[in-house]
Amino acid sequence: MGIQQEGIEAEQWILNEFRKKKIKVFQPDALSLENGEWILNEVKHQEAFEPPPFKGQGLPRWQINTRIGFWRMTGIRVRLIIKEKGTDIIYSQWLDVLEEGKFFDTHGKKPRRIYPIENFKCGQI
Domain extents in the chain: 28-122
pLDDT of residue 1: 75
Nearest partner of 41 among 7, 83, 10, 5, judged by Cα: 83
Question: Looking at the DSSP assignment, which residues form a beta bridge with residue 39?
Answer: 32, 77
Q: What is the pLDDT of residues 18-50, one digit of tens each?
A: 999 999 999 999 999 999 999 999 999 999 999
Q: What is the pLDDT of residues 58-90, one digit of tens each?
A: 999 999 999 999 999 999 999 999 999 999 899
**Superfamily name with CATH number, domain 28-122:** D212 PD-(D/E)XK nuclease, catalytic motif (3.40.1350.50)
Listed in sequence order, the residues at least 6 apart from 2 whose beta carbon sits closer than 8 Å to its beta carbon are none
Contact by Cβ (8 Å): 68, 95:
yes
